[in-house]
Structure formats: C-alpha cells, structure tokens
Amino acid sequence: MTLDEIIENFTYLEEWDDRYRYLIELGRTLEPLDEAAHNDLNKVRGCASQVWIETSRGSDPSGQRVLTFKGDSDAHIVRGLVALTLALYSGHTPEAILATDAQELFKSLGLSAHLTPQRSNGVRAMVERIKTDARSASANAA
C-alpha cells in the first residue's frame, strides 16, 4: 500500500477507534520478516515493544541508490506504526530519507496527539534508526 493510499484512508476515518483498527490492519499488510532477521542487529533500541527493522541497499529502475526496509513488531498497533513508517521511507534515496520529517506526517494524521508517550518514543527510535542507516549509506557512497 502506498503512503498516499494510507493517508487517504486515514482521512475517511473520523473516530480514533476506527483509526487504531486501521493501524492494526495496516500492520497485517507488512511483508513477513524472516525469522533470522529477528536478531539483535535489526532490533530497534528505545521501543517499549519489540521492533525489528531490516535495511537493504539497492537501486530503483532509474539506477538511483535506494534503501528498502522490512519490519516487524510483537505488538499490533506498533506493527501498524512500523508499516506507516516504512511506507514513508522505504524505496527512497538516502538523501530523500534524511530530508523527510516523519513527525510532520504523524502530526498531519493526528497520531502525534493520540499516541502514548511510549509509542511516540518508539516511533522516534524507528525513524532515528532508519536515518542512521541512510547516513551510513550516504557516507559509504561518497
């Protein structure tokens, strides 16, 4: 599912119970993460729930370097937040990833005001992990 589709679906849901259910459904759409990828290297530090993000480097059809991400969590809503975060960043160049502000997206969807402090900290940890991988990919290309 594309980020635009996710944003559009969010705008149709007025009640927060419905939005949380949608987040859970979104989490169910994540491509499965191999069991071997549920390791310490991929584990995101700073999340109250268990979260893993696996980063792959590749190229898009035009030959630009891009990073793709797979992720998983042991908590349903957090898994949906992983899916939303990956929809924002996966398949983009390291430079585009570094220039993209996830807080802006979460604020526009109303999530910033409706997530517990622990979940907000977890989202920040996921974003920082993705940006760290993007900085590393950018530095290695230079």
Active site residue 73: no
Tokens representing residue 3 in the block: 């980020």
Distance (Å, whole) CA 38 – CA 118:
21
Catalytic residue, candidates 23, 26, 44, 47:
47
C-alpha distance from residue 132 to each of 64, 125, 137 (Å): 19, 10, 9
Active site residues: 47
